[in-house]
Amino acid sequence: MRLVTWNVNSIRLRLDGLARLASATEVDVVCLQEIKADKTKFPFEAIRAIGFQYIEMEGFPGYHGVAILSKIQMERLEGRDWCGKQDGRYVGAKLKNGFSVHNFYVPAGGDEPDPTINDKFRHKLDFLSEMAAWGEAQANTDAILVGDLNVAPLPNDVWSHKALLKVVSHTPIEVEALEKAQVSGRWVDLVRRQIPENVPLFSWWSYRSKDWEEANRGRRLDHIWGVGGAVNACTAATVIKEARGWEKPSDHAPVMADFRD
């Protein structure tokens, strides 16, 4: 099984990119974040035409939203409203091959890394705290957790560890909150299990950069974790960096992992 997670920053703008990704990688399961569409605007038929017959999504008009697209039959898992909000940040499914897939879009957190003055940052920390409590029930399952978790936890997950220590996505308080979420569910970072921590690795490059590739001021915000049988089943992982340079790109690149069924 080949799985990809990708923050598409609008599925309707990225349909050609999705088709290109499907053709280039022969991916079986694609988890999307920031689809920016509810059920009335989501392009179900266009996606099925690309080859994904099974679709589970949690949409929201105009922003947020997540979806799981699959060539493998799946059954939707029970949803929940994270932090008491119905804002399309989680969808889960049980694949016919036995793996559960949990797809998250963690709040970005705004600009100021202080929960006492920034409600968006408080929301992010509260969300990660709920993930930690939720994760305890997942520790004995065969599951894959993916998504735009909006935290780059390791020094080599950002272009400059020192420069970004006070920048939202790499602050110590966020890294600690993400680590608690990971430890609570016994999740293993499958990408870093395949690619050593001393190797710089990014999945997001800002639209603001005139030459994103030359500057390479990236961050690894998109993750694939596993627990139980999913850990040893994972045989490879990579960031599809070239997708950031495709026509009409998302500011995120897809992250891909292979699994033995």
CATH of the domain spanning 2-259 = 3.60.10.10
Count of CA atoms in the C-beta half-sphere (13 A) of 171: 17
Higher pLDDT pick, 106 / 61: 106
Q: What is the pTM of this model?
A: 0.97
Higher pLDDT pick, 28 / 139: 28
158-183 pLDDT per residue, tens? 999 999 999 999 999 999 999 999 99
195-209 pLDDT per residue, tens? 999 999 999 999 998
207-247 pLDDT per residue, tens? 998 899 999 999 999 999 999 999 999 999 999 999 999 99
DSSP 170: S
Mean pLDDT of the chain: 97
Long-range contacts of 129-135 (CB under 8 A, 24+ apart): 129/177, 129/180, 129/181, 130/82, 130/83, 131/82, 131/104, 131/106, 131/181, 131/184, 132/177, 132/180, 132/181, 132/183, 132/184, 132/185, 133/184, 134/80, 134/185, 135/181, 135/182, 135/184, 135/185, 135/187
Stretch 180-196: mean pLDDT, rounded? 98
31-79 pLDDT per residue, tens? 999 999 999 999 999 999 999 999 999 998 888 999 999 999 999 999 9
Task: For residue 146, give Cα distances in angstroms to 36, 159, 222.
Answer: 18, 22, 7
Domain chopping of the chain, boundaries = 2-259
pLDDT beyond 90 at 143: yes
Task: In whole angstroms, give the CA distance from residue 152 to residue 170.
Answer: 5
Q: Do 77 and 138 meet the contact criterion of CB atoms below 8 Å apart? A: no
pLDDT of residue 25: 98
Stretch 89-117: mean pLDDT, rounded? 98
State the helix-helix crossing angle for 119-135 and 172-184, rounded to 10 degrees.
20
Q: Do 102 and 146 meet the contact criterion of CB atoms below 8 Å apart? A: yes
